[in-house]
Amino acid sequence: MSQSGVGQHVLLTGANGFVASHILSILIERGYTVTATVRSEAKAKDIIRTHPSWENAVKFVIVADFTSDGPFDDIFRNSGKPFDYVIHTASPLKFQVSDIQKEMIEPAEMGTTQILKAAQHFGGPSLKRFVLLGSAVSVLNSFEDISREGKPYTEKDWNPVTAEQAIARNDTVLGYNVSKTRAEAAAWDFMKKAKPTFDLTVINPDIITGPMIHPIHGPKSINETNHFAIASFIDGTHTQIEGVTFPFYHFVDVRDVARSHVDALKNPAATNHRVLLISGLISPQLVVNIIRENFPSLKDRVPEGNPGQALPSGVCPTGWDTRISQEILANGSHDGKWEYIDLKRSIVDAVNSILSTGILH
């Protein structure tokens, strides 16, 4: 399939994010014309300071608040050349919040429904596809019995978690799961009821790790998942592996996530599909094994754990049946194949990117 984006206009939301920075990089590389949203002028400037060569390749527009009235309408009205595609990535992904409903669920859901409405009303006939960055957390069951492996998840599964459960337990990981599940469900519901002329593809990745190319200003700029899955074993957060658990035990590299989004724009096989993105297993022990083997200078500060025991005691995560998604991904790639970056490369490249910024002393 042709990968060229020359002459095609894409609207990308949340361009300063961990994943969106990689998407933006590929869009520019493939020649797309890009309009990108960020929450402030300062964040747009930050992106260009980090990637000076992108200066004339992307136009920034500001969307500060998804819960305001029609925040995307003017972007579609004033797009100049109409958009051919939308990639919506912006959504809250920080677990340190005090109000799950207001800081997680509402912005995720309203961001998605408001941009879909704007796309339908003002997008015009050139708009062919809306690609939503969803999550595996809207597929898996937050309450699965982690002590025994269940039936593998497929594209047909939906997380039964509710806002009431997340709020009653004041559990922000559950709150995040609700935010992604409700946002994705709202997108499919919109497609069914509003019947817009464009179609929808949702990409559902599990934990995303890998190198960071977004603007970095200190340890807090490390994105949430690279922090809990990798940096927290280097920065002293965890001094031992025993007792450390992850909320989920499968991962995918950020470069595969970005590639899947850009490939999905023109892939006929992706029409109105969910696409599961799962590379393989990840666990605290697997991560520290890779860091200790590949970064001798970090060995003293990274706990050893029990190198032969991949998963925490009592953890048998349910797997994924990704055959349908794999076919869609292969169909969209330049050579008809889809191969994932493995855990070792993802962790090594992530650690190198963390070290190169000099933010962990």
Ligand X SMILES: NC(=O)c1ccc[n+]([C@@H]2O[C@H](COP(=O)([O-])OP(=O)(O)OC[C@H]3O[C@@H](n4cnc5c(N)ncnc54)[C@H](OP(=O)(O)O)[C@@H]3O)[C@@H](O)[C@H]2O)c1
Site residues, ligand X (CB under 6 A): 14, 16-20, 39, 43, 66, 89-93, 107, 111, 133, 135, 180, 205, 207-208, 223, 225
Nearer residue to ligand X within complex by CB, 247 or 292 = 247
Q: Report, in Å, the least distance between residue 125 CB and ligand X.
A: 28
* DSSP code per residue over 289-317: HHHHHH-GGGTTTS----TT--S-TT---
Nearer residue to ligand X within complex by CB, 16 or 120 = 16
Nearer residue to ligand X within complex by CB, 19 or 116 = 19
Q: Report, in Å, the least distance between residue 329 CB and ligand X.
A: 16
Residues 6 or more apart from 153 whose CB is under 8 A from it? 136, 139, 140, 276, 318, 319, 320, 321
Nearer residue to ligand X within complex by CB, 113 or 126 = 113
The residue of the chain with the least Cβ separation from ligand X equals 17
Neighbours of 164 (CB within 10 A): 9
Q: Report, in Å, the least distance between residue 182 CB and ligand X.
A: 12
Residues 6 or more apart from 96 whose CB is under 8 A from it? 172
| Nearest-angstrom CA–CA distance, 350 and 262 | 22
Q: Report, in Å, the least distance between residue 66 CB and ligand X.
A: 5
Nearer residue to ligand X within complex by CB, 19 or 291 = 19
| Nearest-angstrom CA–CA distance, 130 and 134 | 12
Q: Report, in Å, the least distance between residue 349 CB and ligand X.
A: 15
Q: How many alpha carbons fall within 13 Å on the CB side of residue 225? A: 28
